[in-house]
Structure 1
Amino acid sequence: MRTKGYLLRQGLALFAATLVILFLIAVTWEFWLEVPAFKWLGWGKPPDLDTASRWRFILTCTGFAAVAMVVPWILSLRLIWRLRHRYRHLLAARAHGYHLARHDALTDLMNRPHFMTLLHARLSPMLEQTALLVIDLDHFQAINDAHGNTAGDYALRRIAGRLNSVRAVGDPLLGRLGGDEFVVALTGALTRREILDQAQALQGLVRQPLVCGHRREILETTIGIAVAPLNATSADQLLAAAYSAMHKAKCSGERIRLQDTFLPEAKQSDARHAQRLRQALDDGEIVPFYQPVVALESRETVGVEMLARWQHPERGLVPPDEFIPLIERLGLMPEMTRHLLDCAIQDARQWPGHCFLAINITASYLEDETFVPQMASLLERHAFPADRLEVEITENVLIERLDIVQQNLNRLHDMGVHVSLDDFGTGYSGLYHLARLDVDKIKIDRSFFNAEEIRQDNLVRMIIAMGRSLGMAVVAEGIEDERLAERLVRQGCHLGQGYLFGRPMPAQALRQHLLERHPPATDVRGHLCQATDITPQGAHHDCSQP
């Protein structure tokens, strides 16, 4: 906050500046503007004054103005100072109220709700092991009975101060659950021995003598310990497990007890995988791979689909089926999508030509209110044309909250981003979605190519005809042999994707793949129009030209 001296200096500067401006106005009026103004207003000729008289008039006006401003200036300074003083007190009161809402009034440690909120943040997602120690003071009620509640409150404050001063390992959180119970959370790669040593150190601090009334009291403690993810995977479960260990210790006469009831191995494994996956995301191990999309008739690469791959330092490339479902359950899909799209846009800027970049979006992210602004921010930051980005939405994700999805897709279209309906025909209401949503392209799911050939041709021909009638481009996925590709060309399918044209590959390999082809510059939009007699929405320029 500014000091009173600062306000005084600023006030004096403003006062002086005002006087200077008034002085300059008076000089300008007397020597240059008075005669033209009188003529323009029709007042005749102004009084003929000599130069000395004019200067006396100017100084007199300036002096009167200075006298007239002194009192308002002083009152204004006083008012500003009082407002700033009250604002400072308001901020202090607000900060104090914020602190009281999160801390115990007696011991100034974190209260139970705030402690549990921070503990939940540590466990979701679980990056590291967390040990929770519940500390209960044995026979504390005897102090209240013998010396009164005032002495008991004094003892609790002293104990809280001792616990707060401990040099604990594992980034400790310390709180008071209520009554004579305290809690400590330690996060990190701690061994069983290190956790027990920390508990013994806390017991030693509490055991130091206290002077209550005229007597020295020594308090003993019972500590129950639970560890996530061995004993629990959520904050509430972890606290319940630590309480259970503490009560078992009291019943058996122990001072410290580790929870001996473990979660099933499957849950522990999921928690460890979640921890490792979050670390992989933070370390940049999850990277984009790209699979080419070609114009079936010319076999020119017109775009790529971005796919997530986990480059595990020990296992190598981890299949997406092993980590994508867990990413979704952990709520990390938006974060992963933003990271991968950021990398992919940077890669796309290095590709020859102007191929489109397609990215799959999940339901949870598509229904997020921040989805469209985040996409716009990424495009703007990289100066990447919006019409080169294609958002692929799986038909099954559109069953719930269709209105929100529709609103977000319309906003994407307004930006110039294209929309593709992936896995068409495998959901519950594909035609309904096509009627409600502004879709530029449909992708025929690879499962249609596993049926008997006659039925397959009829289904594919029907989907292609429907796409033509709606003015949409059609993409066939999972093309692995030349015979299927040629049959799709005869049926009028626009685009194809599959191992026949290229497997998913990292950015450098894709760039080399594009450079090796050196096809002539071709406008894919024009090419598709000539081949199919339609203008497919969302068509893109060829990306293979060097």
Structure 2
Amino acid sequence: MSPSQLLKRATAIGERFRHLAITVLVVLVVAVLLHAEAVLTTGGAVDRSMRYDIAMSGMNGRVDAITARQRLSRYAATGDLADAEEAWLFYNILASRIETWSSGSFGAFVSRSPQRREMMEDLRRDVAAIESDYLALPDQAALRRIDQVLEKVVGIVDRIGGEALTENLVEAAEIRGTLVERQRLQNILVEVLVGIGALLLLFMSLQARSLRRARAVAEEAAREFEFAARHDPLTGLPNRIAFHDALEQALSSAEGRGEGRLAVLALDLDGFKAVNDILGHASGDDLLRSVADRLRRIVADWHPRDVVSRLGGDEFTVLTRVSGGEQEAAIRAKQLIDGLHEAHALGGGNVVVNATIGVALSQDGEGGAAMLQNADLALSHAKATGKGRVQLYDVSMRADATRHRQIEEGITQALEDGDIATHYQPQVDMLTGRIVGLEALARWRHPVLGWIPPSEFIPIAEASGRIVEIGERILEQACRDTLSLSDDLPVAVNLSVAQLAREDLAETVADVLLRFGMPASRLKLEVTESVVMKDTRRAISTLKKLKALGVSISLDDFGTGYSALSYLRSFQWDELKIDRSFVRSLESDRHSLSIVTSILELAARLDIGVTVEGVETQQQVALLTGAGCRVAQGFLFGAPVPVSDLPALLARSAVRSGAADPTVSSDALAAARGLA
């Protein structure tokens, strides 16, 4: 081979080597860029995942607490309803945040320290305790209690969040140190691989694969943290925050508006507490999971974007789109009730539950918070008027809620001002027309709302816990007023379920009798069958203590309960009061007269007195006296009147009794009805 050929061959080999070197360098540069991008992406994924780790949970909790306090302060300053709704919303966000802290990584972090566990229990208890204070707004005392609790919450969250941040910083430093070490090693390897080409490419390929796996793990962790922050840990359903976001997004979406109206279905299980009490909380959790799964399956058939969420406890919500308006929404709600009513297979056996649903449809210009509140109002209305049904929202419910709040907030002032007064309805011997007793009844004339019927304010007082105070006030007033009368008439006072549940009821009654010098024989305490049924054993025990004082015990609304005869066997009653529902139908239903006659015969054999309620006509008097009944009360004989009217009422009674003419004129009956 000639020198020129050798030179050409060498030149060709050099060119090939140079091309190969350039190719290797380009590949190396590309590999380095890809490697750097993978490292940076991994670091970014780690940073993104840290948004949902314990440190961020603590920081977000602090923001939630501070925001809740700010919204409360704004409301305290303005008194505006919108600010009240925002204060309530951020309180619920804070409560939801605290619930998420009991699970996942943050729950594990808290559990590692007894001190943190104790602080968290205090935090959860304090936040739960002020929910009733939010409902009492704008009460100033409630505002102060809420502000004090929120100030304490901020301090606890600061401390726990600081500890969480410290722990995360150490962990993050380790992660970043590992990444920095890998990057430093990569730079060294790149310099070495510049010389050894193929080995560097192989190493870079393996390293890139490892980093892709690390990135996938970090991104998966970030997704898990995000899921935990927006979903209920027990059922996996979206939580209150996620539902509210979905509702706001749907309301603002033009696509959502084009597919019909949005409907929010607020759902509450009937009798869920009984499942927890009887079968245990584990079975209660199983039931909630079963309900969640069933709701998912039913709603999935409606629309792929419909949302089911659990707000907490046994409260669920559904967001759906309907093209048929209220009728279609009601049909879907009924589907949920029917679907949930099928037996749920639990560890403790099969359980059948009912559900009550309130439905609210979207209105122009209405926000998600107002829409959810409307559904809650409809749900509350449905539960108050009969569970296991569907109730559509209408604007009157908001007025009812406002009236309910006015009544509840006005009870304290009414008690202080004496607006809740004691009126008395006479109990009359139908054969002579003589008044033989009085029943003390609570009556309330509100300065704004006017006369509020007891059927309205008594349940509100029971729900708010003020019925005990009202009952004691009526008892004291009845004893005072009765002693002021010339006649030695007995007076009957009703006992509520809350009073009967108190261990000190007998002591309270004894103290009132002693303070006013009231003979126990002149006091009659009335309880309804429904009150006794709440806790029969305790109720009978308390009634025996009361009877030992010498007072009479009357069973009111007799015949309307589920096991009236069993009560006659377990306690020696002094009186049965036949419910007005039997009297109302005496003239049109022969069965009612037969029932009344049977009660009278039974009471006579057991040596129990009988009083009939709701007598309004002379024909009813004739039928009752013919059946053997003597004592009655009702509009025919007089409506409840204040104590100032009693002397005149008793005088007229004496005149009628002396004349042996118990009849009452139609004008007097009309006047009595007007005063009721």
TM-score by length of 1: 0.51
Alignment of 1:482 with 2:618, yes or no, is yes
Q: Deviations over 1:373-415 (max 9, x none)?
A: 1111111111111111111111122223211111111111111
> Aligned equivalents of 1:398 and 1:115: distance in 2?
34
Listed as ranges, the matches of 1:164-179 within 5 Å are 175-178=151-154
Specify the alignment match of 2:602 in structure 1. 466
CA offset at residue 477 of structure 1? 0.8
> Aligned equivalents of 2:126 and 2:537: distance in 1?
38
Write the letter of the residue equivalent to 1:440: D
Match of 1:355 among 449, 464, 489: 489
Distance 1:124 1:375, change over 3 A: farther
Alignment of 1:413 with 2:424, yes or no, is no
Specify the alignment match of 2:350 in structure 1. none
Specify the alignment match of 2:419 in structure 1. 285
Say if 2:133 and 2:142, in contact at 8 Å, map to a contact too.
Answer: no
Alignment of 1:399 with 2:520, yes or no, is no
Alignment of 1:498 with 2:634, yes or no, is yes
Specify the alignment match of 2:591 in structure 1. 455
CA offset at residue 443 of structure 1? 0.9
Match of 1:308 among 432, 442, 454: 442
Distance 1:502 1:112, change over 3 A: same
Listed as ranges, the matches of 1:142-541 within 5 Å are 175-178=151-154, 261=369, 263-264=373-374, 269=402, 270-451=404-585, 452-518=588-654
Write the letter of the residue equivalent to 2:534: E
> Aligned equivalents of 1:447 and 1:485: distance in 2?
15
Secondary structure, aligned partner of 1:513? helix
CA offset at residue 429 of structure 1? 0.6
**Structure having greater relative contact order (Cα 8 Å, sep ≥ 6):** 1
Distance 1:176 1:453, change over 3 A: closer
Listed as ranges, the matches of 1:43-62 within 5 Å are none
Secondary structure, aligned partner of 1:422? strand
Q: Deviations over 1:288-334 (max 9, x none)?
A: 11100012222110111111111111333211122111111112111
Say if 2:422 and 2:642, in contact at 8 Å, map to a contact too.
Answer: yes
Secondary structure, aligned partner of 2:485? coil
Write the letter of the residue equivalent to 1:128: D
Write the letter of the residue equivalent to 2:502: D
Secondary structure, aligned partner of 1:358? strand
Say if 1:291 and 1:504, in contact at 8 Å, map to a contact too.
Answer: yes
CA offset at residue 433 of structure 1? 0.7
CA offset at residue 126 of structure 1? 5.3
Query: How many matched pairs?
Result: 311
Say if 2:491 and 2:523, in contact at 8 Å, map to a contact too.
Answer: yes
Q: Deviations over 1:243-282 (max 9, x none)?
A: x99xxxxxxxxxxxxx994544658634444223333234
Secondary structure, aligned partner of 2:534? coil
Distance 1:482 1:413, change over 3 A: same
Q: Deviations over 1:19-59 (max 9, x none)?
A: xxxxxxxxxxxxxxxxxxxxxxxxxxxxxxxxxxxxxxxxx
Say if 1:125 and 1:278, in contact at 8 Å, map to a contact too.
Answer: no
Say if 1:473 and 1:494, in contact at 8 Å, map to a contact too.
Answer: no
CA offset at residue 283 of structure 1? 3.0
Secondary structure, aligned partner of 1:309? strand
Specify the alignment match of 2:111 in structure 1. none
Say if 1:444 and 1:475, in contact at 8 Å, map to a contact too.
Answer: yes
Distance 1:414 1:480, change over 3 A: same
> Aligned equivalents of 2:136 and 2:523: distance in 1?
31
Say if 2:497 and 2:531, in contact at 8 Å, map to a contact too.
Answer: yes
Distance 1:126 1:415, change over 3 A: farther
> Aligned equivalents of 1:319 and 1:405: distance in 2?
27
> Aligned equivalents of 1:436 and 1:334: distance in 2?
26
> Aligned equivalents of 1:355 and 1:475: distance in 2?
15
Write the letter of the residue equivalent to 2:562: Y
Q: Deviations over 1:469-489 (max 9, x none)?
A: 110111111111122212222
> Aligned equivalents of 1:358 and 1:128: distance in 2?
35
CA offset at residue 178 of structure 1? 4.5
CA offset at residue 346 of structure 1? 1.2
Say if 1:127 and 1:276, in contact at 8 Å, map to a contact too.
Answer: no
Say if 2:433 and 2:656, in contact at 8 Å, map to a contact too.
Answer: no
> Aligned equivalents of 1:131 and 1:401: distance in 2?
32
Moved more, 361-370 or 438-447: 361-370
Say if 2:532 and 2:540, in contact at 8 Å, map to a contact too.
Answer: no
Say if 1:112 and 1:175, in contact at 8 Å, map to a contact too.
Answer: no
CA offset at residue 455 of structure 1? 2.1
Write the letter of the residue equivalent to 2:591: R
Secondary structure, aligned partner of 1:177? helix
Secondary structure, aligned partner of 1:176? helix
Say if 1:352 and 1:514, in contact at 8 Å, map to a contact too.
Answer: no
Say if 1:420 and 1:443, in contact at 8 Å, map to a contact too.
Answer: yes
Secondary structure, aligned partner of 2:153? strand
Say if 2:428 and 2:435, in contact at 8 Å, map to a contact too.
Answer: yes
> Aligned equivalents of 1:310 and 1:495: distance in 2?
27
Listed as ranges, the matches of 1:102-121 within 5 Å are 112=123, 116=127, 119=130
Identity percentage of aligned residues = 31
> Aligned equivalents of 1:289 and 1:125: distance in 2?
29
Gaps of 5+ in 1: 1-103, 105-110, 133-167, 183-239, 246-258, 523-546
> Aligned equivalents of 1:129 and 1:460: distance in 2?
53
Secondary structure, aligned partner of 1:338? helix
> Aligned equivalents of 2:516 and 2:613: distance in 1?
29
Distance 1:333 1:273, change over 3 A: same
CA offset at residue 120 of structure 1? 5.9
Say if 2:432 and 2:656, in contact at 8 Å, map to a contact too.
Answer: no
> Aligned equivalents of 1:313 and 1:491: distance in 2?
45
> Aligned equivalents of 1:458 and 1:113: distance in 2?
58
Write the letter of the residue equivalent to 1:462: S
> Aligned equivalents of 2:142 and 2:561: distance in 1?
45
CA offset at residue 287 of structure 1? 1.1
Gaps of 5+ in 2: 1-114, 116-121, 159-239, 246-366, 378-396, 659-676
Greater share of helix: 2
Write the letter of the residue equivalent to 1:497: Q
Specify the alignment match of 2:139 in structure 1. 128
CA offset at residue 361 of structure 1? 1.0
CA offset at residue 173 of structure 1? 7.1
Distance 1:114 1:483, change over 3 A: closer
